[in-house]
Amino acid sequence: MRKVLFFLLVLFFGMCFSQTAENLHGKWSGTDSGKKRSFTFFPDGYANVELEGMVIDGRNYIIPDGPNKGKTGYIKYTVDFSKKPFKFSLIASYNDNNNKIEESKFLNGLIEFTKENEIVFFMDFENEGHTDIDPLSPNTITLHKDSNL
């Protein structure tokens, strides 16, 4: 009887604290150095990003300036949920108008769920391949889930 009860408790708590892609889907926002930032993760792998008043629609973003001005850009994300903290990548791409998609990873990082509706998000701007999240790093932000999708 004890073994059965123990097994059921392990199974129950394992399901309560395991995180999957579905847990990430939704709009997450937080404040960093007094500036609001938000990320919206969609089930189809696209992401919207809001930084410093700039809104990037990951499914259909018209690039406003630079050498790719006027081209349609896209932002997708990938997360490896096999090991905590979870490895995260934002991938930017655009159509070069010759039916060729140019793609590059532009931000890697780590995500860790701290509560059901809270994540700590470390952005590895230097692309150093960090394996742990430093909560005191200026590249770390706590995000709260605003809505589900």
What does 42-54 look like in DSSP terms, one character per residue?
A: -TTSBEEEEETTE
- The pLDDT tens digits for 13-62 are 333 345 566 899 999 999 988 889 999 999 999 999 998 888 999 999 99
Q: What's the residue count for the chain?
A: 149
Share of the chain above pLDDT 90, in %: 54
- The pLDDT tens digits for 79-95 are 999 999 999 999 999 87
User: Model-level pTM?
Assistant: 0.79
CATH number belonging to domain 20-147: 2.40.128.640
